[in-house]
Amino acid sequence: MFFWIEATILAFSLFREPDLTLDKPETHNSEKNSFRFYGGYESRPLMSFVVLGDIRYEYHHTSISGIDFSRKIKSDFNDLPLDFSLGMSLVRYNENNFQKNHNQYNLFLNMHYKIKRRGIPLRLFIGEGISFAERVPYVEGRETRRLSGRDSKVMNYLNVGFDFRLSDLTGHDSLHNIRLGLSNAHRSGAFKKIKLFNYTQGGSDFVSLFLEYDF
């Protein structure tokens, strides 16, 4: 994942305003709500994304598009650079004709850790919650049935990634409400430990590029 953080900074540095002052304090922190719009595809396991930055397609080429709404509930928790928010999402699956397309609904708690890289503010985030799919996603079902002999529409939901304010990447303050980011959305059965998830093992991972609007 950190490879893509560096790649994003490098790519935007080619177009950044030459007089942009780095290491300036982050402003515009009063926004409480956000909408995130994203599209992505079935990819490699979560840890491959986090550790290796692996975003290759899974060979069935299924994909998703979605929208999240989040509400910030705590800023700078215990004077640390940690923000917490509650979120919900609607995800549409394109199953590439392996089965009918369908929707997925998620509820989650987000934690954002605010840092700087090469003088540019960014957020690392992790979201944890629960996910319900109208149909068991095709690739996910193949994996969970292979590992545990069963599947489940209800699964644990985990979302990991990073984002930047476009104003910090470009130097144009008019873009301060818009964030650009990359994430991995992971559904799994939590190692066959939970009845609600039908004691499944395995899951699915979707890498997504997103834009997020704060207001």
Domain boundaries, the chain: 2-12+33-214
Look at residue 23 in the predicted model and tell me its pLDDT.
53
121-128 mean pLDDT: 98
Look at residue 15 in the predicted model and tell me its pLDDT.
78
Q: Which residue has the higher pLDDT, 191 or 179?
A: 179
Residues belonging to the chain: 215
The HSE-up count of residue 31 (CA atoms within 13 Å, CB side) is: 16
Opening angle at CA 52, ends 46 and 53, nearest 5: 75
Partnered with residue 130 across adjacent β-strands are 107, 156
Look at residue 3 in the predicted model and tell me its pLDDT.
92
Look at residue 24 in the predicted model and tell me its pLDDT.
52
Phi, psi of 12 (to 5 degrees): -75, -20
Q: Which residue has the higher pLDDT, 39 or 192?
A: 39
Q: Is 213 helix (H, G, I), strand (E, B) or coil?
A: strand
pLDDT tens, residue by residue, 95-119: 999 999 999 999 999 999 999 999 9
Phi, psi of 92 (to 5 degrees): -110, 125
The one-character DSSP state at 135 is S
pLDDT tens, residue by residue, 14-33: 877 655 545 555 555 678 99
- Residue for token digits 């397609």? 57
Look at residue 210 in the predicted model and tell me its pLDDT.
98
Look at residue 158 in the predicted model and tell me its pLDDT.
98
**Cα-Cα-Cα-Cα dihedral sign, residues 177, 109, 153, 182:** positive
DSSP of 76-128, one letter per residue?
SGGGSSEEEEEEEEEEEEE-TTSS--EEEEEEEEEEEEEEEETTEEEEEEEEE
- 103 touches 92 (CB < 8 A): yes
pLDDT tens, residue by residue, 35-94: 999 999 999 888 899 999 999 999 999 999 999 999 999 999 999 999 999 999 999 999
pLDDT tens, residue by residue, 125-178: 999 999 999 999 999 999 999 999 999 999 999 999 999 999 999 999 999 999
- Which CATH number describes the domain made up of 2-12+33-214? 2.40.160.20
The encoded tokens of residue 118 equal 């090469």
Opening angle at CA 161, ends 160 and 167, nearest 5: 150
